[in-house]
Homo-oligomer: A and B are copies of this chain.
Amino acid sequence: MSRQKYIGVIGAGECDAEFGRLAEAVGRQIASAGAVLVCGGMGGVMEATCRGAKAGGGTTIGILPGPDRADANPYVDVAIATGVNEARNLAIIRTADALIAVGGSYGTLSEIGFALKAGKKVVGLRSWDVKGIVPAATAEEAVRLAAE
């Protein structure tokens, strides 16, 4: 797995049905692309993306904020319990080769900024409009751009 591409997905811990479908489609495309999904392993966008990746036969890594691996959503294959709360966001970004931001809370903005600082490609799907983000219109396009 270490030799596969790792694509990170960042987004809110709660999301409505529409963003859930979008995140799930992103996960499915990541699996189709033969990449490993890295995310925060919790609910909302993270859970929807993991569900999509597993439906597509992919592998999922969840880097959790809390101290207990059991808190991961049920679609996480490899759960990492950090216990450092939001500081785990930096490990998600450092572990991923490229990132896809789905939607746009402030937590996601913080991760986008850190990823761009670290020189990683960040693709945005209905996310923040900041200089440096590569916008995509669909899940398929987002994954294609991230996997390049």
Contacts and interface: CB of A to CB of B under 8 A. Distances in A.
A55 interface: no
A67 interface: yes
A91 interface: yes
A76 interface: yes
Contacts of A82: 90-91, 94
A87 B83 contact: yes
Nearest to A72: B2
A80 B107 contact: no
A110 interface: yes
Nearest to A60: B2
The copy count of this chain in the complex is 4
A81 interface: yes
Contact of A77 (B1, B67, B117): B1
A108 B112 CA distance: 11
Sorted nearest first, the 9 A-B pairs with minimum C-beta distance are: A110-B113, A109-B113, A106-B117, A81-B94, A110-B114, A84-B84, A106-B116, A82-B91, A87-B87
28 contacts: A2-B69, A2-B76, A61-B78, A67-B85, A67-B118, A69-B94, A69-B95, A78-B78, A80-B91, A83-B90, A83-B94, A84-B85, A84-B90, A85-B85, A86-B90, A87-B90, A106-B116, A107-B117, A109-B110, A109-B113, A109-B116, A110-B111, A110-B113, A110-B114, A111-B113, A112-B113, A128-B130, A130-B130
